[in-house]
Homo-oligomer: A and B are copies of this chain.
Amino acid sequence: MHIKVLRDDLLDGVGPIQAVVETKRSLPILSHLLLETSPSHLSVFGTDLDIGVRKRIPGEVVKEGSVALSARKLYEIVRELPATSVDLIVDDELTATITCDNSEFKIKGLARNDFPSMREPQQSGIVLDRRLFRDMIRRTLFAVSSDQTRYTLNGILFRVTSQDVKMVATDGHRLAMTNHELSGKSESSSTLTPVDAIIPRKAAAETLKLLREEPGEVTIEISDNHLLLHTDDILIDARLIEGQFPNYEQVIPAHAAKEVTVNREAFIAGLRRTSTILGERAVPTTMKLTPGKLLLTCVNLDLGEARERLDVEYQHEEMSVGFNARYILDFLGALTTDQATIRLQDPLSPALFTGKDDARYTCVIMPMRL
């Protein structure tokens, strides 16, 4: 095998994929990346058996071939190389020689045969805008449960119908839900098979990192309990969580008569400030609503208290309700509108957080008893 690639292209492939690779597994091959040529490019592939990622890098192939090299070492080497052309030659003993400018590295590789195989895309599936798909993950990922005993909650529900695409995650204290209506054109909704899949947290988080925030599309296929995502140059193959996601619709409050509208940035700043007094304690932040005003209060009995006054749109009677500020901040951090709307019924009923005049993103947060 012999290929010439640009160092920056090589780093672009090796960097994100080595982060996916598991180094603690007992199978040594899993700490490696498979480098493989095809006539016009080099493909870099890494997997931890739960998620596999392959990226194509442009290169001038002198001689075709393949080799598996230590992911971490390859990354550390490529990172330090100057930004110029890199020559990668692999001999019959699978020793790779990497030459770049005045530097030369020889590292021992493993054979392609030992490497797990990867599914290939089927040229069909749901086509979504890449940024939209990233945004949907970003809006729900924080609500994924870490409770290992509730494994169907350890991922994001990904549901596709002929009308829309939905993502939902919940940890029992809060639920995040985002949906996107399918217009029917580029997304070929007419030919869509309905999908109901649970994408594990790691696969969702890695996808967020791997799909760049660039214009473009992503094609999504679900089969045999695997999720296959692909763009022009990247292919992600993730094992899905088996089982039934709970019926989340029942926790979405039907009655929530009192509506508050608050500026997103001011709300974030206020919650961050009042939270400083709390430290690690799971103490509620009190929201006291009076017409036109929101007063945030946190009390730490050992230390003192913090208050923040915000101007809001609110026209109902006085009401006090307590929340875990972290949950609200997670929601506000993923919100893309300038104003947030909160719908409340009473201090013990779940509250509905959305963007103002925007039904595409909703969080349900359980209050804390004051």
Interface residues of A (CB under 8 A from B): 70, 73, 76-77, 79-82, 95-96, 102-108, 269-270, 272-274, 276-277, 279, 302-310
Contact = CB atoms under 8 A, between A and B. Distances in A.
A105 B305 contact: yes
Copies in the complex: 2
A279 B77 CA distance: 11
A310 B103 CA distance: 9
Nearest to A82: B269
The 8 lowest CB-CB distance pairs between A and B, nearest first, are A107-B304, A76-B276, A102-B309, A80-B273, A106-B304, A104-B307, A105-B306, A77-B276
A252 to B, nearest CB: 32
B73 A107 contact: no
Contacts of A77: 273, 276-277, 306
Contacts of A106: 304-306
B80 A272 contact: yes
Contacts of A79: 276
Contact of A103 (B70, B81, B107, B308): B308
A108 B299 CA distance: 12
Given A77-B277, A107-B303, A276-B80, A102 B308 contact: yes
Contacts of A105: 276-277, 304-307
A82 B272 CA distance: 11
A276 B73 contact: yes
A270 B303 contact: no
13 contacts: A77-B273, A77-B276, A77-B277, A77-B306, A81-B273, A102-B270, A102-B309, A102-B310, A103-B306, A104-B308, A105-B306, A107-B277, A107-B303
